Amino acid sequence: MTPLLTSAIGAISAITVLTASVNVNIAQQSDLQRTKGLDKHKAKAIIEWRNQNGSIDGFQELAQVPGFTPEVIDKVKPQIAFSGDAYTPPPKPASKKKK
């Protein structure tokens, strides 16, 4: 692996850690709705699709869910996971110390 590619992968990983993520394969509707760009209708569509077809393997398959246009997928892509915890909240900002 080239040093540039290794750096790019590291940067992407760091960005992913700083944002909330939701696993579309196990999250409940309320968890999905916490995702910016997913309203209750899209959250329900994911759950219905998942119930009929099984787990979603990637963004190409997510595009088959009704309402998931390329624009919607681009918007939610940084916040979506296909494995891991149902919902991982973003890290809390460091609190200021009182004097």
What per-residue confidence (pLDDT) applies to 1? 58
* Tens-place pLDDT, residues 32-86: 998 999 999 999 999 999 999 999 999 999 999 999 999 999 999 999 999 877 7
Above 60 in pLDDT, residue 13? no
Range of the domain at 43: 34-88
Is residue 28 situated within a structural domain?
Answer: no
Is residue 44 situated within a structural domain?
Answer: yes
Is residue 76 situated within a structural domain?
Answer: yes
Is residue 12 situated within a structural domain?
Answer: no
Is residue 25 situated within a structural domain?
Answer: no
The structure's pTM equals: 0.69
Domain count, the chain: 1
Q: Which pairs with CB-CB distance under 8 Å and at least 24 residues apart come from 86-91?
A: 86/22, 86/23, 86/26, 86/27, 86/28, 86/31, 87/20, 87/21, 87/22, 87/23, 87/27, 87/31, 87/34, 88/20, 88/21, 88/22, 89/20, 90/18, 90/19, 90/20, 91/17, 91/18
The band of 91, judged by pLDDT with boundaries at 50, 70 and 90, is confident
